[in-house]
Structure 1
Amino acid sequence: MLWACIALPQLALDAVLRRSADPDAPLALVGGSAQLRTLHAVNAAAAQAGLKPGMRLTAALALLPDFAKVNYEPASEARWQRFLAAWAYRHSSLVSAQWPGCIVLEVRASFQLLGPWPRMEARLRSELTTLGFGHRIAMAPTPRAARVLAGLQDGVSVSNPLAMQALLDKVPVRRANLPDNAGERLQRMGIRDLRTLRALPRDSLRRRFGADLLQHIEQLYGEADDPLTHYAPPDQFDAKLELGHEVENHMALLFPLRRLIGDLCTYLSIRDGGVQRFVLRLEHEGAHTDVEVGLLAAEREPAILFELTRNRLERTSIPKPVVGMRLLARELPAFVPAARDLFELRAQQSLPWPHLRERLRARLGDDAVYRVAPSGDPRPEHAWHRVQGDSAHIPDAPHRPPRPLWLLPRAVPLRDRDLRIVSGPERLESGWWDGADARRDYYVLETSRGQRAWAFVPPGECDGWMLHGWFA
């Protein structure tokens, strides 16, 4: 096996910056107790102004009075680590997020599909950059070795176990992720690197530092099995964004909405599935507003889902200022891409019908776009009915004489002295069971202007024409 470790040195900070409208403005994560607030992490702009992690908030405000402050939440950091584990699951079936601040995944089995390690590494880096997370990546025959090497230098890759051991022997004990802070204690004892540590008597190390240290070294060098807690993707998507300020208009919500939709589509690609119904929850102080988005077929294209959600959002009134957004998707059916012609002739600016249909439903409402199915009733006003969705089977229409393309909502008198009968009559008698009995003789007529009309008169009569439709 070969394992890649993706170290995330500023995971909590990146999770905040990726949803910030101005990530280049000075910003810091603030943690600690109410009596002693300290900076947990700072972005590049805040660092240039002199702010540093560990600095007291009062000292930071004296140095830079105006910078954005966001509360550091360990639970949120863990949630984003799970999100990135889900992202890594699309590249490997063995993924672990058991160590904080990093993701490890087995990559040798993916080489046949994704190409050799340099190509796969470039792909991982590109996608992480697009997602907005800083990273360091290393590869080694054991997951713990990959983790140690990623913490030392970005881009290290070693596939030979002997070469890996030679690299590890030079690693300082303080940088070897030893359990229970043993690295600092060993450093103070004069033990500088792992080569020196491995040369010490095992019994003495066990008495002084416990069996966990020896087990860690054996797993680090590949001398013992390292059972990891493997990640399994959940069956639903639930993501939340705290805006940090009150928002009262739709336009200011589009940037965080795009991020949420992008995260949803990343999750869907991991599962190789789609989404057919989800809820965008706008959170207010003590209340929330739900924007429901439903599709007729499963979809996972980010641009399409964002456009549909934006249209729904613009039609929703915001009763109170929005302080957070949450996206919940519990119905995640299988995704079957639409069949495409190899030599597609569709114009570049046109939309395929499924995308156009969903856009119209989002703009006009769910009931505004529907399918038409024939019924067995011969009365023109009852000869069809609406069908929602794509799954229902529509039978063939019964064989009848030609019908006009333009059928009027109700028949109106047709006044023209120079009418000419083209065909007819067609006798229609129906509706005795529902109280709307109809007995009519329908004719195809030509008017004095050359138009073709579809009109009827009572049976056996030739006067008092009632216009019911026009032929094209």
Structure 2
Amino acid sequence: MRWACILLTQLALDGVSRSRDDQAQPLVLVAGPAQRRIIRAVNPAARQLGLKPGQTLIAAQALTSGFAVAEYDQQQIDHWQHFLAAWAYRFSSHVSLDYPRALLLEIESSLGLFGPWPRFEERLRTELTELGFQHRIVLAPNPAAARMLANVHDGLAVDDVALRREVERLPISRCGLPADIVSALARMGLRRVKQLLVLPRDTLGRRFPKDVLWHLDTLLGHQPLALGNFQPADEFAARIEFNFEVNNHQALLFPLRRLIADLHAFLAGRDCGVQQFMLALEHRSLAATAVPVGLLTPERDTQLLFDVARGRLEQLQLPAPVLALRLSAPNLPDFVPQSQTLFVERPQQSQPWEQLRERLRARLGDQAVYGLAAVADHRPEHSWCTDVTGGRAEQHDGRPRPGWLLTEPQPLNDLVPEIIAGPERIESGWWDAGDLRRDYYLVRTRDGRRAWVWRAVDGSGPFMLQGWFA
């Protein structure tokens, strides 16, 4: 087996900064009581100002200004780790969260689907960058080695032959041993795992807890490591809180696009779609404004979902400034991709029908866009109806029917048309006072057009034009 470790190097910062428009603004995360706020994390721009973890917020404000402050929230860190685990679930059926701020993926069984490891790794990095998370990735024969090698490497891929050599090069301080054990080994002059491995095992086992030997054996693959198996949630929920009041729709588009991108990543991980979701605009003193978004079929295309949600949002009159935007999708139906031909005939500048339909419904309203639906009735006047669900008309049998039906039948000017097919007798409607008895024909007129006509079953009267064929 081969395991990939995705180490999320600044998960807390990325979770906060990805919801902000200005990514270059200095940002610090603080924690602790109100009278003694301690900086827990800083981004590169804040580090350039001389700020660093461990400083008090008061000292940092005395040193410089112009940096943003946000809360270091452990609950949010766990949320983002679970979100990324749901994203990674599309690449592997075994995703583990046993290590904090890291994802462990068993990828041996996924290489046949996603290609050789260099291509697989490139895809992981591309999608993580698009989601806005810094990372390091290492591949190793066992999960413990992958996780510890990610402490000092990025892009490393080792096999069973090279595993021991790379583990021996690890600093003891970065190999995952407890801090008190690392301090005791440092006082003995031991700095590298290689120095530790050459010591007699019985001596090492007497002087230190047995967990030390077990951990070393796990790194080398001599001891198996049982990991938990992550299972994605059955619903999606995400929230972005603003550090200022939003008074217009335009300022909501950036966080909306971020939420839709997160929804797409979650749906792709679970291989499902979404047909209904809810946007909630949170205000300071009013109840949250709900914006329901519905689609005719399950979808997960990012641009389509964003366009539909944007159309619904722009129709809303904001009752008060918005402090946070929340998106929830409790029902996630199965997603069946649209079938496509081998050679795409649609021009690149045009839109697929499904996307155009949803955009029109979002902008004009659900009742403004409708399609045609077939009705199980042989009478032409009653064989179709308008359908606000946007469906397309489908014939209920295999007999030819014209694409254009007249509102009312009218006499055919061509008194002696060429009969192509017929008669087809239709006798129906006795139950609703709409009884008719007609013989229908497919004819060609003198000018070459094809028409659908009828006349009385006794042959009396002229041909009556019912519709035209394209």
Residue type of the partner of 1:347?
A: P
Specify the alignment match of 2:250 in structure 1. Answer: 251
Residue type of the partner of 1:252?
A: A
Specify the alignment match of 1:234 in structure 2. Answer: 233
Cα distance change of structure 1 residues 378 and 160 upon mapping to structure 2, 3 Å threshold: closer
Specify the alignment match of 1:97 in structure 2. Answer: 97
- Which moved further from structure 2: 293-302 or 34-43? 34-43
Shift of 1:345: 2.1
Q: Is the 8 A contact 1:179 1:216 kept in 2?
A: no
Q: Is the 8 A contact 1:138 1:157 kept in 2?
A: yes
| TM alignment of 1:436-447, pairs within 5 A | none
Residue type of the partner of 2:283?
A: H
Cα distance change of structure 1 residues 320 and 206 upon mapping to structure 2, 3 Å threshold: farther
Secondary structure of 2:333's counterpart equals coil
| TM alignment of 1:210-221, pairs within 5 A | 210-221=209-220
Secondary structure of 2:191's counterpart equals coil
Specify the alignment match of 1:264 in structure 2. Answer: 263
Secondary structure of 1:331's counterpart equals coil
Shift of 1:202: 4.7
Find the aligned partners of 1:396 and 1:331 in 2 and give their Cα distance.
Answer: 32
Shift of 1:213: 2.7
Specify the alignment match of 1:139 in structure 2. Answer: 139
Find the aligned partners of 1:164 and 1:377 in 2 and give their Cα distance.
Answer: 75
| TM alignment of 1:381-420, pairs within 5 A | 385-389=385-389, 396=396
Secondary structure of 2:166's counterpart equals helix
Find the aligned partners of 1:164 and 1:432 in 2 and give their Cα distance.
Answer: 82
Residue type of the partner of 2:101?
A: G
| TM alignment of 1:135-214, pairs within 5 A | 135-161=135-161, 163-179=162-178, 181-200=180-199, 202=201, 205-206=204-205, 209-214=208-213
Cα distance change of structure 1 residues 393 and 179 upon mapping to structure 2, 3 Å threshold: farther
Q: Is the 8 A contact 2:371 2:392 kept in 1?
A: no
Q: Is the 8 A contact 1:249 1:318 kept in 2?
A: yes
Shift of 1:186: 2.2
Find the aligned partners of 2:353 and 2:159 in 1 and give their Cα distance.
Answer: 49
2:274 maps to 1:275: yes
Residue type of the partner of 1:23?
A: Q
Find the aligned partners of 1:5 and 1:402 in 2 and give their Cα distance.
Answer: 61
Find the aligned partners of 1:373 and 1:300 in 2 and give their Cα distance.
Answer: 25
Specify the alignment match of 1:108 in structure 2. Answer: 108
Q: Is the 8 A contact 1:173 1:184 kept in 2?
A: no
**Can you list the C-alpha shifts for 1:24-80, whole angstroms capped at 9, x where unaligned?**
111111112212112111112111111112111111112222211111101101110
Secondary structure of 1:335's counterpart equals coil
Q: Is the 8 A contact 1:176 1:183 kept in 2?
A: no
Shift of 1:259: 0.7
Residue type of the partner of 1:336?
A: V
Find the aligned partners of 2:72 and 2:28 in 1 and give their Cα distance.
Answer: 9
Q: Is the 8 A contact 2:370 2:390 kept in 1?
A: no
Shift of 1:122: 1.5
Specify the alignment match of 2:319 in structure 1. Answer: 319
Residue type of the partner of 1:306?
A: F
Q: Is the 8 A contact 1:19 1:259 kept in 2?
A: yes
Cα distance change of structure 1 residues 141 and 383 upon mapping to structure 2, 3 Å threshold: closer
Residue correspondences, number: 426
2:11 maps to 1:11: yes
Residue type of the partner of 2:255?
A: P
Find the aligned partners of 1:373 and 1:270 in 2 and give their Cα distance.
Answer: 35
**Can you list the C-alpha shifts for 1:227-261, whole angstroms capped at 9, x where unaligned?**
00111111111111112221111110100110110
Find the aligned partners of 2:388 and 2:174 in 1 and give their Cα distance.
Answer: 61
Cα distance change of structure 1 residues 199 and 378 upon mapping to structure 2, 3 Å threshold: closer
- Which moved further from structure 2: 58-67 or 387-396? 387-396
Residue type of the partner of 2:9?
A: P
Secondary structure of 2:194's counterpart equals helix
Alignment identity in percent?
Answer: 48
- Which moved further from structure 2: 278-287 or 305-314? 278-287
Specify the alignment match of 1:461 in structure 2. Answer: none
Find the aligned partners of 2:199 and 2:402 in 1 and give their Cα distance.
Answer: 97
Cα distance change of structure 1 residues 421 and 202 upon mapping to structure 2, 3 Å threshold: closer
2:328 maps to 1:328: yes
Structure 1: 5+ residue stretches without partners: 409-419, 425-429, 439-471
Specify the alignment match of 1:413 in structure 2. Answer: none
Cα distance change of structure 1 residues 214 and 405 upon mapping to structure 2, 3 Å threshold: same
Secondary structure of 2:151's counterpart equals helix
| TM alignment of 1:369-388, pairs within 5 A | 369-373=369-373, 385-388=385-388
Find the aligned partners of 1:108 and 1:421 in 2 and give their Cα distance.
Answer: 72
Secondary structure of 2:349's counterpart equals coil
Residue type of the partner of 1:84?
A: L
Secondary structure of 1:242's counterpart equals strand
Shift of 1:211: 3.2
Specify the alignment match of 1:368 in structure 2. Answer: 368
2:342 maps to 1:346: no
Specify the alignment match of 2:59 in structure 1. Answer: 59
Q: Give the alignment's TM-score, normalised by structure 2.
A: 0.81
Cα distance change of structure 1 residues 44 and 369 upon mapping to structure 2, 3 Å threshold: same
Cα distance change of structure 1 residues 404 and 348 upon mapping to structure 2, 3 Å threshold: closer
Specify the alignment match of 1:285 in structure 2. Answer: 284
Q: Is the 8 A contact 2:272 2:332 kept in 1?
A: yes
Residue type of the partner of 1:365?
A: G
Find the aligned partners of 1:185 and 1:406 in 2 and give their Cα distance.
Answer: 93
Q: Is the 8 A contact 1:30 1:71 kept in 2?
A: yes
Q: Is the 8 A contact 1:361 1:368 kept in 2?
A: yes
Find the aligned partners of 1:402 and 1:240 in 2 and give their Cα distance.
Answer: 52
Secondary structure of 1:152's counterpart equals coil
Q: Give the alignment's TM-score, normalised by structure 1.
A: 0.81
Find the aligned partners of 2:204 and 2:32 in 1 and give their Cα distance.
Answer: 35
Find the aligned partners of 1:141 and 1:87 in 2 and give their Cα distance.
Answer: 23
Cα distance change of structure 1 residues 97 and 421 upon mapping to structure 2, 3 Å threshold: closer
Secondary structure of 1:212's counterpart equals helix
Secondary structure of 1:151's counterpart equals coil
Q: Is the 8 A contact 2:374 2:393 kept in 1?
A: no
- Which moved further from structure 2: 1-10 or 203-212? 203-212
